[in-house]
Amino acid sequence: MGVLNLAVRDGVLLMTIDHPPVNALSRTVRAGLMEALARLAGDALLRGGVLLGADNIFVGGADIREFGKPASAPTLPEVLAVLEACPKPVVAGLNGAALGGGLELALACDARIALPSAVVGLPEVTLGIIPGAGGTQRLPRLTGLAAAIRLIGTGAKLKADEALRQGILDDIAPDDLPGAAIAWLHGPASAKRPVSARTVPADAPSAVEAAAQAAVKTGKGRPAVRAAIAAVKEAAEVPFAEALQHERHAFETLRASPEAAALRHIFFAEREAVRLPESLRQKPRQLETIAVIGAGTMGAGIALSVLEAGFWLILLDQNAALLAAAGAGLLRQLDERAQAGKISFSSAERARERLILANGWQEIDSADLIIEAVYEDLSVKQEVFRQLDAYAKPHAVLATNTSYLDIDQIAAATSRPRDVLGLHFFSPAHVMKLLEVVQGAQTTPDVLSAGMELGKRLQKLPVMCENRFGFIGNRIYNAYRTHCEFMLEDGAWPEQVDEALEAFGFAMGPFAVMDMSGLDIAWRMRKSRAAGRDPRARHVPVLEALCEQDRFGRKSNIGYYSYDGGKRAKETDQTVRAIIAAASEKRGIRRRDLSPEEIQRRALMTMANEAALLLAEGVAQRASDIDVVLVNGYGFPRWMGGPVHWARGQGRAKLEEGFDIIGEAMGFGFRRGDVDLLL
Ligand code: 3HC
């Protein structure tokens, strides 16, 4: 069996692409398609052809693994030109996802019939490229420019019914897809009718512009998004063949860009991260019923995720009023999400039936996995774990959602530390994809596997890490934020640091983030750690001084910045500047200007250095896991690939020099990472 299985049924050639895992259009598949099309064209007994995908996917796109090198013949545009010119009609039978080159293949056919479960999309911009095999030219000929820009410019996916409504599909077959495609080929509409020969339906220019602006906004103005919009617009302005060449040229240029390489890196890193290292892989413990302890914001967010994934959920809180409010909130959110089409009405209904509100510990005895999400305080959490130990059934997995505390100290409150692990969710828990799965000193592999499995079933990105202060994400972010505070003392104002890092691509600068999360929280943590701090270590006391003046951030309308009706002031006010200047003076620093480039370099070098330390300590399993964490949980720009990917791009000499600079700025207590671990 090759990558293309051929069979003849009722005078029709069935061509099934069978190239696991996603039937990507690798060179061997493209060559197979060329041969099959030649047979179809040359066999007088064949009336037409049907393209299908094996298993439950049509085609997941061009083979992204081939993108690092120049395209080899036959290229996808060459295959599609032959397909479109084939004298016999060909129907695409979409038995599952048709994405990127997969949808382009279908668009070069004479008709598209799909199973109801199929999805279509051109997600190329998410990889820093544009469709390179006619997608930007054929799709608008079916949908009009505005809809094509919406789809291609954002990389969104459409379900089959919506794709039918937009004219991308010709029909939906409820079950026998090959049968429906064969029937089409024997029916009255079976003549060749290439999409490229059609004219683009007229759209109001204002609708086209609105779609373009929305796509630029969603795509943060990245070059691929702008190029995609420009290419789609050409469909209405430039002859097909010429526009196709422009599209291919833009595709090739973008494909070779550092941004596309970074996005490919993170695409594969995310798929790698969810796998445990071989030595730890084990059949996970079975998970059917999940309990969440604590009905606060975090607990309720986790509960929503768990319910939507189809588990039974026991939500426990001893505060009856809070529990009732959280329960009502969950029902309302399930309803709203079904109304908004985010989940089906039937799964919302099933989730409602699976929600159990509990206020007594004995009610958790049926749970296979219990997630504690109570107040971040060691003794409070230990008390919860004593109760879990008393009431959870044997072999239940016991998880803590702590972000900073020591998992082993929490596990020590139980008689079963082997069953305990950390599951660090990010807020809002039903939205954020990242999940740090933390292995304690005694956590067994099947418990760890259960944590990873839960993450996957919640459609999150579970990343394994070892139990060390801050795990992966907070450890790096802390180092970064601390260094940003050094830069304040050295001469930068908060807005200069924030603007430089936002210009690099961070969703928000560190001081804007601090104001948002509340300075009092950081203040409390600093006070609790102050006793352990060596007086020789550099410490910038600005946050403490702000808090002493009741400047707690957004919640008090004033922090590093002042806020007017929620709007952040462009600059920090004189009080903050005076506090910062006083700190500089106290340390004997003559303030100087820091350029945006210097700010970016120092902040990123700090991240890279901490990443190297995490790798040396074995806290992170793989360098790419660190990138996955920072991109998905900390607003690191995806198109930069993550701090390790960034560091690799710098090369050894610049990294060594950068580590010298940040080491000098920190002084006492600086630990230098091993550059080799990053390269
Ligand atoms: N090329 C190469 N490998 C691919 C791939 C692709 N297009 N798409 C997925 N894979 C690999 C993954 O790396 C993973 O490999 P692994 O098992 O070794 O880690 C494996 O296939 C399974 O992938 P997922 O874990 O993502 O599987 P899911 O079932 O969750 O999702 C999917 C399937 C929806 C197809 C998802 O993989 C996906 O979104 N893929 C990318 C789709 C895409 O962006 N296509 C456009 C490619 S660019 C293009 O087509 C250019 C054209 O215009 C010329």
How is 346-385 classified by DSSP, letter by letter? Answer: HHHHHHHHTEEEE-SGGGGTT-SEEEE---S-HHHHHHHH
228 Cβ inside 6 Å of ligand 1? no
Mutation probe of ligand 1 site: the residue of 64, 103, 251, 457 with most atoms within 8 A of C-beta: 64
- Residues 463, 482, single domain; the answer is no
603 Cβ inside 6 Å of ligand 1? no
CA of 63 to the centre of ligand 1 (A): 8
Concatenate the DSSP letters of all residues of 24-77 into one string.
-B-HHHHHHHHHHHHHHHH-TT--EEEEEESTTEEE--B-GGGTTS---SSPHH
Task: Give the residue whose CA is nearest to atom 16 of ligand 1.
Answer: 271
pLDDT of residue 94: 98
> What CATH number should be reported for the domain holding residue 332?
3.40.50.720
- Residues 513, 490, single domain; the answer is yes
Query: Higher model confidence: residue 533 or residue 95?
Result: 95
Residue 39 burial (CB count, 10 A): 14
148 Cβ inside 6 Å of ligand 1? no
Average pLDDT (292-306) is 96
Average pLDDT (45-70) is 94
User: Domain tally for the chain?
Assistant: 3
Residues written for the chain: 679
User: Which atom of ligand 1 is least distant from the CA of 127?
Assistant: 44
- Strands (E) across 540-650 are located at 563-564, 567-568
Please check whether residue 199 lies inside any domain of the structure. yes
Please check whether residue 278 lies inside any domain of the structure. no
Q: Is residue 215 pLDDT above 90, yes or no?
A: yes
CA of 168 to the centre of ligand 1 (A): 21
Please check whether residue 266 lies inside any domain of the structure. no
ipTM of the complex: 0.98
263 Cβ inside 6 Å of ligand 1? no
CA of 296 to the centre of ligand 1 (A): 37
- Residues 123, 251, single domain; the answer is yes
pLDDT of residue 21: 96
Task: Give the residue whose CA is nearest to atom 38 of ligand 1.
Answer: 60
Q: Is the separation of the CB atoms in 136 and 130 below 8 Å?
A: yes
- Residues 219, 357, single domain; the answer is no
Q: Is the separation of the CB atoms in 574 and 558 below 8 Å?
A: no
User: Which atom of ligand 1 is least distant from the CA of 57?
Assistant: 35
How confident is the prediction for the chain on average, in pLDDT? 95
User: Which atom of ligand 1 is least distant from the CA of 130?
Assistant: 53
- Residues 439, 337, single domain; the answer is yes
Q: Is residue 618 pLDDT above 90, yes or no?
A: yes
The domain boundary, picked from 467, 487, 519, lies at: 467
Average pLDDT (62-78) is 91
24 Cβ inside 6 Å of ligand 1? yes
- Residues 243, 324, single domain; the answer is no
CA of 128 to the centre of ligand 1 (A): 15
Q: Of the candidates 381, 368, 392, which has an alpha carbon nearest to the alpha carbon of residue 450? A: 368
**Angle at the Cα of 271 (from 269 to 275), degrees rounded to 5?**
105
Residue 571 burial (CB count, 10 A): 14
Residue 330 burial (CB count, 10 A): 23
pLDDT of residue 391: 97
CA of 272 to the centre of ligand 1 (A): 12
80 Cβ inside 6 Å of ligand 1? no
The tokens describing 389, both together, are 């130990």
479 Cβ inside 6 Å of ligand 1? no
- Residues 663, 516, single domain; the answer is yes
pLDDT of residue 1: 57
CA of 134 to the centre of ligand 1 (A): 19
Average pLDDT (553-575) is 89
- Residues 217, 312, single domain; the answer is no
Q: Is residue 111 pLDDT above 90, yes or no?
A: yes
20 Cβ inside 6 Å of ligand 1? no
Average pLDDT (475-488) is 97
Task: Give the residue whose CA is nearest to atom 52 of ligand 1.
Answer: 101
Cis peptide before 428 (omega within 30 of 0): yes
Please check whether residue 279 lies inside any domain of the structure. no
Residue 359 burial (CB count, 10 A): 15
For residue range 305-360, what is the model confidence (pLDDT) as tens digits? Answer: 999 999 999 999 999 999 999 999 999 999 999 999 888 899 999 999 999 999 89
For residue range 262-271, what is the model confidence (pLDDT) as tens digits? Answer: 999 999 999 9
Q: Which are the catalytic amino acids?
A: 104, 124
Please check whether residue 157 lies inside any domain of the structure. yes
- Residues 217, 345, single domain; the answer is no
For residue range 580-592, what is the model confidence (pLDDT) as tens digits? Answer: 999 999 999 999 9
Q: Of the candidates 49, 115, 54, which has an alpha carbon nearest to the alpha carbon of residue 88? A: 49
Please check whether residue 280 lies inside any domain of the structure. no
Q: Of the candidates 433, 387, 385, 374, which has an alpha carbon nearest to the alpha carbon of residue 407? A: 385
61 Cβ inside 6 Å of ligand 1? yes
- Residues 494, 622, single domain; the answer is yes
Q: Is residue 594 pLDDT above 80, yes or no?
A: yes
Q: Is the separation of the CB atoms in 476 and 450 below 8 Å?
A: no
Please check whether residue 623 lies inside any domain of the structure. yes
- Residues 306, 203, single domain; the answer is no
64 Cβ inside 6 Å of ligand 1? yes
Q: Is residue 78 pLDDT above 60, yes or no?
A: yes
Average pLDDT (151-169) is 97
Average pLDDT (185-193) is 88
Task: Give the residue whose CA is nearest to atom 30 of ligand 1.
Answer: 271
Reported confidence tier of residue 2, pLDDT bands at 50, 70, 90: confident
The domain boundary, picked from 209, 241, 260, lies at: 260
User: Which residues form the domain of 499?
Assistant: 474-677
> What CATH number should be reported for the domain holding residue 619?
1.10.1040.50
CA–CA separation, 626 and 631 (whole Å): 9
The domain boundary, picked from 222, 241, 260, lies at: 260
- Residues 533, 656, single domain; the answer is yes
CA of 346 to the centre of ligand 1 (A): 29
250 Cβ inside 6 Å of ligand 1? no
Query: Higher model confidence: residue 70 or residue 379?
Result: 379
Please check whether residue 102 lies inside any domain of the structure. yes
- The pLDDT > 70 percentage for the chain reads 100
Average pLDDT (124-146) is 98
The DSSP bridge partners found for residue 466 are 439
> What CATH number should be reported for the domain holding residue 194?
3.90.226.10
Q: Is the separation of the CB atoms in 563 and 554 below 8 Å?
A: yes
Reported confidence tier of residue 190, pLDDT bands at 50, 70, 90: confident
* Residue in this structure with the two tokens 């004189």, named with its chain if needed: 574
Average pLDDT (517-539) is 87
Task: Give the residue whose CA is nearest to atom 19 of ligand 1.
Answer: 271
Which amino acid does the sequence have at 539? H
